Amino acid sequence: MPAKNKKDGLNAGDNSIVIGGNVQGSNIVVGNNNNVTSQTINIAPLFKALYQKVEESKELKPQEKTDVKEELQEIQTVLEQPNPDETFLARRFRNLKRMAPEITEIAFETLKNPIGGVAEVIKRIVQKATEEAGAK
């Protein structure tokens, strides 16, 4: 085989893209003046606000506040995972609703605002909880 020299190399032309190898999990950006960002949602501040609402609640006893915060912590932990378990979250929200319905509504409204998958999971859980409440 004849040796390839640089002038015989790959020439794709202007504004072309040449990709070699495995690019799975990579960002491929085309065009001019691109900005690349990795979107992740930091939900910790949202939960900080929820914990504050629990502390301010005059309807909850100290032990109930502790239980509600523990449920919220479990919800937060699951929501921070790449693929949150909807069944687990639905159970946690049902428990939370039994203990503190007003905090549950605040949690639903607070968590529906972020963009991305977390918001979609929360919307489905809110819809299911609403349907279950209407069935009773």
State how far the alpha carbon of 108 is from the alpha carbons of 42, 46, 118, in Å: 16, 11, 11
Instruction: Tell me: pLDDT of 91 over 60.
Output: yes
Please write the tens of the pLDDT for every residue from 30-69: 556 655 554 456 788 889 889 999 999 999 999 999 999 9
Instruction: Tell me: pLDDT of 23 over 80.
Output: no
Domain boundaries, the chain: 44-135
- Quick one: pLDDT at residue 64? 95
Instruction: Tell me: pLDDT of 116 over 50.
Output: no
Instruction: Tell me: pLDDT of 4 over 60.
Output: no
More confident residue, 96 or 44: 96
Residue type at position 59 = E
